[in-house]
């Protein structure tokens, strides 16, 4: 085994070990996308929203469940567009009794150091910093 292959093996092993510690994001892996209604996807959205609410925004909101999760569209990588994406939508049932439209996208190879996939989501009316544009436009 050459030095180059040892370094590569160590780097890949370290990256996989790091990403496996970062659950629930570890459920997503380079281009083999889970479905929009996969339990690990919905759980990840709920946990990340809860963390953001508790530590950043502090409104006391939580997602009790995501109803009618569905596939919206996809854009697979090609020679001009190298990032494969799956777009999804549904209805977030909130702890204050309201129901809000929610959209999410899964991007292939856009996780930490490009080793895993990334999931971004937006709930209509609950993006005070307009991170995803007006009315969650960038994840629709």
Q: Burial code of 31-56, b = ≥16 C-beta within 10 A, e = fewer?
A: eebbebebeebbebbbebbeeebeee
Which residue's structure tokens are 């994406």? 85
Question: What are the distances in angstroms from CA 35 to CA 70, 71, 98, 115?
Answer: 9, 8, 25, 19
Tokens encoding 2:
């050459």
- The separation between CA 71 and the C-alpha centre of its own chain, rounded to angstroms, equals 14
Give pLDDT tens digits for 18-70: 333 333 333 444 456 788 999 999 999 999 999 999 999 899 999 999 999 99
Model pLDDT for residues 75-119, shown as the tens digit of each residue: 876 666 677 889 999 999 999 999 999 999 988 766 555 556 789
Residue closest to 103 by CA, chosen among 65, 140, 75: 140
What does each C-alpha distance from 123 to 12, 63, 72, 85, 119 come to in angstroms? 35, 10, 16, 19, 14
- Domain boundary assignment for the chain: 3-139
**For residue 85, what pLDDT is reported?**
87
Q: What is the DSSP secondary structure assignment for residue 106, as one 8-state letter?
A: E
């Amino acid at each position: 085994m050459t030095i180059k292959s040892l370094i590569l093996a160590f780097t890949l092993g370290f990256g996989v070990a790091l990403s496996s510690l970062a659950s629930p994001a570890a459920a997503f892996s380079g281009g083999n996308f889970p479905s929009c209604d996969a339990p690990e996807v919905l759980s990840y959205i709920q946990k990340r929203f809860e963390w953001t609410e508790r530590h950043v925004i502090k409104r006391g909101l939580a997602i009790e469940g995501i109803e009618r999760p569905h596939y919206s569209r996809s854009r697979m990588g090609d020679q001009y567009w190298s990032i494969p994406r799956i777009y999804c939508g549904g209805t977030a049932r909130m702890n204050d009794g309201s129901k809000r439209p929610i959209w999410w996208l899964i991007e292939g190879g856009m996780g930490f150091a490009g080793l895993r996939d990334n999931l971004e989501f937006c709930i209509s009316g609950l993006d005070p910093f307009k991170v995803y544009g007006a009315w969650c436009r960038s994840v629709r």
